[in-house]
């Protein structure tokens, strides 16, 4: 008989010794990963739990038109939050009706928000991004796992439009790069990367980390850093310029070890933070201070 899988919230870890920031989380999506019988906490509760664990600031990422719109009132209601908004690479082809099948074989799923053209959606992101608590454009980039040739063409166009917007508005850029390292690097170099460019949920190995070191691009580490099989990712962290290392959860996805498969929230950034310290051979207090300094260099303070 199959063992019943545990979908409940992982326990709160011991608080970090120095406050840190989860620089990439999707608080409006918490319900997406919950199963029957598991309680959906309010955003107030989720933030309070993170703060009690030493994750005192968070960047809320709204990367489809609905969640970008929903991000603004969240920023206004919670002093712990700053925001990032964009049209995600898996959303852009839906707006331009160019979504096709990628290697993952998933059929595109249209929603009402996709009735807005890609140009109009991008224009709205530009308007929403004028809010003073928006600190980054993202997540944008390329996802070659979820797109075929037509979708990839649209992703490239949308990525370039987001790069231009981040530069024009002097905002940081958060990049989603799935199975597309070379193309992402090529576009950033061709167009000129924004001054503060972050590979969100960094998924490269040493080679990409060395390119980021050369270019001064930030590498943001999430739960996969703690997964047993990801030796290449830990090697990348091992060679990363210390001034370019950031921390995130990408919650509610990518729950760190040993809680994989259960819901994720910013309080669980503690486990990834501990792994960063361990891989870098730093005391936890030093590693937290380093990551927090880097976070403020990218996004400022709020």
Q: Which residues bind Zn ion (CB under 5 A)?
A: 250
Number of residue whose CB is nearest Zn ion: 250
CB of 63 to Zn ion, least distance (A): 7
Tokens of 299: 């996004």
Shorter beta-carbon distance to Zn ion: residue 222 or 277:
222
Shorter beta-carbon distance to Zn ion: residue 91 or 250:
250
Shorter beta-carbon distance to Zn ion: residue 141 or 194:
141
Shorter beta-carbon distance to Zn ion: residue 80 or 250:
250
Tell me whether residue 220 is exposed, middle or buried, using C-beta atoms within 10 angstroms of its C-beta: 0 to 12, 13 to 18, 19 or more.
Answer: buried
**CB–CB of 57/19 below 8 Å?**
yes
CB of 250 to Zn ion, least distance (A): 5
CB of 222 to Zn ion, least distance (A): 9
**Beta strands 197-199 and 218-221: pairing type?**
parallel
Residue 266's alpha-carbon distances to 34, 207, 274, in angstroms, are 15, 29, 14
CB of 88 to Zn ion, least distance (A): 8
Residue 34's alpha-carbon distances to 43, 197, 224, 253, in angstroms, are 14, 32, 20, 11
CB of 201 to Zn ion, least distance (A): 7
CB of 86 to Zn ion, least distance (A): 10
Tell me whether residue 141 is exposed, middle or buried, using C-beta atoms within 10 angstroms of its C-beta: 0 to 12, 13 to 18, 19 or more.
Answer: buried
Shorter beta-carbon distance to Zn ion: residue 172 or 277:
172
3-state SS, 59-100, equals EEEECCHHHHHHHHHHHHHCCCEEEEECCCCCCHHHHCCCCC
230/199 Cα distance (integer angstroms): 17
Shorter beta-carbon distance to Zn ion: residue 142 or 277:
142
Tell me whether residue 57 is exposed, middle or buried, using C-beta atoms within 10 angstroms of its C-beta: 0 to 12, 13 to 18, 19 or more.
Answer: buried
Shorter beta-carbon distance to Zn ion: residue 22 or 250:
250
230/211 Cα distance (integer angstroms): 19
Please state, as a whole number, how many other Cβ atoms lie within 10 Å of the Cβ of residue 192: 10
CB of 4 to Zn ion, least distance (A): 29
Tokens 């939050």 sit on residue = 81
Shorter beta-carbon distance to Zn ion: residue 64 or 250:
250
The beta strand positions in the chain, using DSSP E, are 20-25, 55-62, 81-85, 134-143, 172-178, 197-199, 218-221, 245-247
CB of 175 to Zn ion, least distance (A): 11
């Amino acid at each position: 008989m199959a063992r019943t899988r545990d979908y409940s919230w992982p326990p709160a870890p011991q608080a970090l010794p120095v406050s840190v920031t989860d620089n990439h989380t999707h608080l409006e999506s918490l319900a997406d990963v919950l199963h029957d019988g598991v309680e959906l906490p309010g955003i107030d509760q989720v933030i309070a739990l993170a703060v009690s664990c030493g994750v005192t600031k968070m960047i809320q990422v709204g990367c489809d038109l609905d969640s970008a719109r929903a991000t603004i009132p969240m920023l206004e209601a919670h002093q712990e939050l700053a925001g990032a908004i964009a049209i995600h690479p898996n959303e852009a082809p839906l707006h331009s009706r160019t979504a096709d099948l990628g290697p993952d074989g998933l059929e595109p799923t249209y929603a009402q928000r996709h009735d807005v053209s890609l140009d109009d959606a991008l224009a709205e992101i530009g308007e929403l991004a004028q809010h003073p608590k928006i600190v980054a454009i993202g997540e944008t980039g390329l996802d070659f796992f979820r797109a075929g040739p037509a979708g990839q063409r649209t992703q490239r166009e949308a990525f370039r439009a987001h790069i231009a917007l981040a530069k024009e508005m002097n905002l940081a850029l958060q990049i989603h790069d799935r199975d597309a390292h070379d193309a992402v690097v090529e576009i950033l170099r061709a167009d000129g990367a924004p001054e503060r460019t972050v590979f969100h949920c960094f998924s490269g190995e040493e080679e990409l980390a060395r390119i980021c070191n050369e270019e001064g691009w930030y590498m943001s580490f999430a739960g996969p850093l703690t997964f047993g099989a990801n030796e290449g990712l830990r090697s990348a962290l091992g060679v990363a310029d210390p001034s370019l290392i950031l921390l995130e959860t990408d919650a509610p996805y990518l729950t760190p070890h040993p809680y994989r498969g259960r819901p994720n929230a910013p309080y669980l950034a503690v486990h990834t933070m501990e792994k960063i310290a361990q891989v870098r051979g730093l005391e936890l207090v030093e590693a937290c201070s380093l990551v927090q300094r880097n976070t403020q260099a990218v996004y400022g303070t709020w």
